[in-house]
Structure 1
Amino acid sequence: MQNRDKLYIDGRWTAPSGKKTIDVISASTEEVMGRIPEGDAADVQAAVAAARRAFDGWAATPAAERAACLKKIQEGLKARADDIARTICGEVGMPLKLSVMIQAGSPIGTFGLYARMLADFAFEEKVGNSLVVREPIGVVAA
């Protein structure tokens, strides 16, 4: 069984504010295959505050550096693709072959796509007499 007891907030694994947990149920056996912490409002506030502190620096980071970060995440996902696929396969009951392609493969491809898009993205564009500037607007908790 895979159990996690911490939330990743502000660049580190930290204990959640509350004690509640969420059981991860296997779709094929209906047995508990893992347990994760249930974040509460205080955890969300801590995560949003951490993201806000990091926002200005990240927004000012050159596109090439941001692309390099996305590529690093992509490589990390590639290295763990089999573990990710197996875990999701058990949780949702998807055949392993599909889980490798979709559940593990899609995020790998998406991070690579956005890294490549940054190379040519028009952050500023002149449209008629106007200058359209595309810039980060802030933190979102979803």
Structure 2
Amino acid sequence: MKVQTTLASPVGDVTLQATDKGLSYVGFAPKSRYPDGSNTHLERACEQLTEYFAGQRTCFDVALDTQGTPFQQAVWQLLCQIPFGETNTYGWMANKLENPKAVRAVGSANGKNPISIIVPCHRIIGANGKLTGYAGGLARKSWLLAHEGIKITQ
């Protein structure tokens, strides 16, 4: 059974959804409405996100239950390898996936990431060093990067 909760944060309310297997959504505008509730995955994610926003956590270790194509799953797993306080580009990701021509496909998969912040798609910037799109909006992306000590000039 999927349940959800809302966590107040410095970047606005964050909606979290989880199944019995793990976290299935973290974001600012859920696609579906599930009953409010809790389970160990939601409790752990809320605790870790609270620590992240307080500057006490730089990585997450919550179980995930994401649904996506094998390519999307590979992109999301690669995002998790980008450390706190660092950024990278779609081109870097395409190269790491051994498919340098897949830059647009990587961007599309990145945009479909269902687990914002924890799967850190906000750490992807343009090849020119500028902010690129973010489902939560560029103001949130800018805040998250600044929170991690990353300065981006526009």
> Normalising TM by the smaller chain, what interval?
under 0.3
Quick check: which one's helix share is greater? 1
* TM-score (normalizing by structure 1): 0.25
- The higher radius of gyration belongs to 1
The two structures have a TM-score, normalised by structure 2, of: 0.24
